[in-house]
Amino acid sequence: QTVSAFQVLLPGADSSSSSSSSSSSSGNNNPGVTFLDTPGHAAFRSMRRSGSHTADVIVLVVAADDGVSAQTVEILDTYKSIARGQPGSITLVVAMTKVDKPGVNAEESRIAIENQLLERGIYTEGVASTMPSNDWEEEYEYGPPAQLFPVSGVTGEGLDDFVEGLVLQSEVMDLRADGTARAEGVVIDARVERGLGVVTDC
């Protein structure tokens, strides 16, 4: 298992002119979103941690029919650690998947997952909107409340809203690529391959 990376262009974007996950200061108005996909299995904790430290936004994937798992809590702990140590450097977005499955009530699942996250100290926009700001804003250490998007990888439901939400988050965080700066690389995975030696993924 490795950390994989792929880019999703926004509707109407020109793939030849989009090379980063946000609009560049040199005039690229066709942004895309670059995803680092980390394995969810418990054995790949270090990969998830390295991916989290590289990202600007953590997408927390929670199945509508499963809710918050041990791996979910682990990712939340990593997010909270980064958010406390480097305020404003990272935000959280929740993707509630499998809303297309038979027997799943998306609204009931959303409420249940929001409450599970709240029990672990994470506010979503749905929860925060029901509370007076004075009750939580001053003590909340983890940036703005998390957006939650019901999505389906099978039917495509909610995916456009999800990508637009990520772009909105990047605008709020003012994530912009400097086209005149020197390129930088981050090693997100390393391994030994027979015949090649040490191989790194950047």
The CATH number of domain 4-201, selected from 3.40.50.300, 1.10.1520.10, 3.40.140.10, 3.30.2090.10: 3.40.50.300
Q: How far apart are CA 44 and CA 6, in angstroms?
A: 19
In Å, what is the CA distance from 73 to each residue of 62, 117, 118? 11, 9, 12
User: What mean pLDDT value characterizes the chain?
Assistant: 79
Q: Per the structure block, which two tokens stand in for 175? A: 């994530």
Task: Give the pLDDT of residue 40.
Answer: 58
Q: Is the pLDDT of residue 157 over 90?
A: yes
The predicted-structure confidence for 105-147, as pLDDT tens digits, reads as follows 999 999 999 999 999 999 999 888 887 766 666 667 787 899 9
Provide the pLDDT confidence category of residue 85 given band limits of 50, 70 and 90: confident
Domain extents in the chain: 4-201
Q: What is the CA radius of gyration of the chain?
A: 18
Task: Give the pLDDT of residue 23.
Answer: 37
Q: Per the structure block, which two tokens stand in for 128? A: 């925060």
User: Which region holds residue 27: left if phi is over 0, alpha if psi is between -120 and 50, else beta?
Assistant: left
User: Which region holds residue 20: left if phi is over 0, alpha if psi is between -120 and 50, else beta?
Assistant: beta
Q: Is the pLDDT of residue 164 over 90?
A: no
Task: Give the pLDDT of residue 22.
Answer: 38
Most confident by average pLDDT, 9-18, 29-38, 49-58, 66-75? 66-75
